[in-house]
Amino acid sequence: MEDVLPKKTVLKDVKIFKDLEEEIIKTGKCCACGACVAYCSSQMFDVIKMEGYTPQFISDANVDNCKECGLCYYICPQTEPLMKQLNEDYRIKDEIGFVQDVVAAKTTDEKVKEMGQDGGLVTTLLMYLFDKNKIDAAIVSEYNEKLQPIPKIIYNKEDLLKSSGTRYSISSNILPLTDLYSIAEEIVDKHHQIYDINQIRMAFVGTPCQCRAVRKMQLLSISPAHVIKYVFGLFCMENFDYEKLFQLVKKETNEDPTNIAKMNIKKNFFITNKDNKVYEVELKKFDDAVRSHCHDCDEFTSRFADVSFGGSGAVQQNSMVVIRTEKGEELIRDVLIAGYIDKFTPKKSTITDWKASKIGLLRRMTNNKIKKS
């Protein structure tokens, strides 16, 4: 597909934030991506905010300030409008989405190997984009001292390692765009390679629902998503409520989040503390911590990304990489040529069968997620 934004879509049946509140937020379908707040705030409308993980009116006094433009409703990844056109633009005909190619690969960077999850591919690709001056910033997620995800914009590769690894509780990764214009002067002053905030080039890393929201924003050609040049999607079977997750982690391991070094899901939940003690806990024991919106989700492999990443189906210490767009294909090719990553190569006689088997596995996992919904 061409890597250009589709021509601007005209909205016909306009719904507003009150509709979003009634249909999505109050019914537990909100995925807390932050798209509605990021758009509204970037326009200086001063109407809604994210309180914890819930979009809401800033106050009762702000209700009447709503411009009733309807854009917050349409860019929400959980609403149906725009999905038909989005699926057409991204050539999506089934549950797994369009697949240009599928490979397994791992980073060649020793620090990323140590800090990253699986093959460390997302961190390495961002490193390459910074090194080659293809992006000025990236939206990622870091941990605080209690392992709570903190979404943020970073402006150099030195901050990348802080964002390595997988998050299992929600990180509202579109939300950092909220402040893009309000702190524009500060960004330009601090980062001398950035002269015009509208010309900043960002990479975005997010879950399937978050990538879907970004693409909806781009479909409507609205800010602040116009600054996102690369969309990296993560495989996601389900996401957890932070408080509920770590209550269960404490119950099963007697470990506080401040003493946990790493968590990973490979059929079961593996929790490693800072003394390298590993706990294996049945995944079903964390079912009560799964966020309600995940029960309605039909995406596992981030269908709307340029490139999707995950550990499922990969050989040890590699990541599975699903290439979806020409932009994604070009990036993976260039990163391989530059030696930033190594590609796993099965025997030539089996490579076609290998790819077919991996796509089949991802399709089965997607269908398993749909059945759980």
Lowest mean pLDDT among 132-141, 152-161, 296-305: 152-161
pLDDT tier at 166 (50, 70, 90 boundaries)?
low
- AA identity, residue 277: K
Packed helices 326-337 and 121-131: angle between N→C axes, nearest 10 degrees: 80
- AA identity, residue 201: R
6-58: per-residue pLDDT in tens?
445 555 568 999 999 999 999 999 999 999 999 999 888 889 999 989 999 99
Higher pLDDT, 371 or 67: 67
Whether residue 2 is predicted with pLDDT greater than 50 in this model: the reply is: no
Q: Which residue is associated with the tokens 């605080």?
A: 144
DSSP 325: S
Whether residue 99 is predicted with pLDDT greater than 90 in this model: the reply is: yes
Task: Calculate the CA dihedral of residues 49, 54, 56, 58 and round it to 10 degrees.
Answer: -40
- AA identity, residue 143: Y
Among candidate residues 372, 238, 210, the one with its CA nearest the CA of residue 300: 238
Q: What is the rounded distance in angstroms from the CA atom of residue 147 to the CA atom of residue 118? A: 19
The pTM (predicted TM-score) of the whole model is: 0.90
Q: Tell me the CATH class for 242-289.
A: alpha beta
Count of CA atoms in the C-beta half-sphere (13 A) of 309: 27
140-151: per-residue pLDDT in tens?
998 888 888 899
Query: What pLDDT, on the 0 to 100 scale, is given for residue 12?
Result: 59
CA angle 287, 250, 319 (to 5 degrees): 60
Domain 17-75, CATH number (from 3.30.70.20, 3.30.360.10, 3.40.50.300, 3.40.640.10): 3.30.70.20
Mean model confidence pLDDT for the chain: 89
Question: With pLDDT > 70 as the criterion, what percentage of the chain qualifies?
Answer: 95
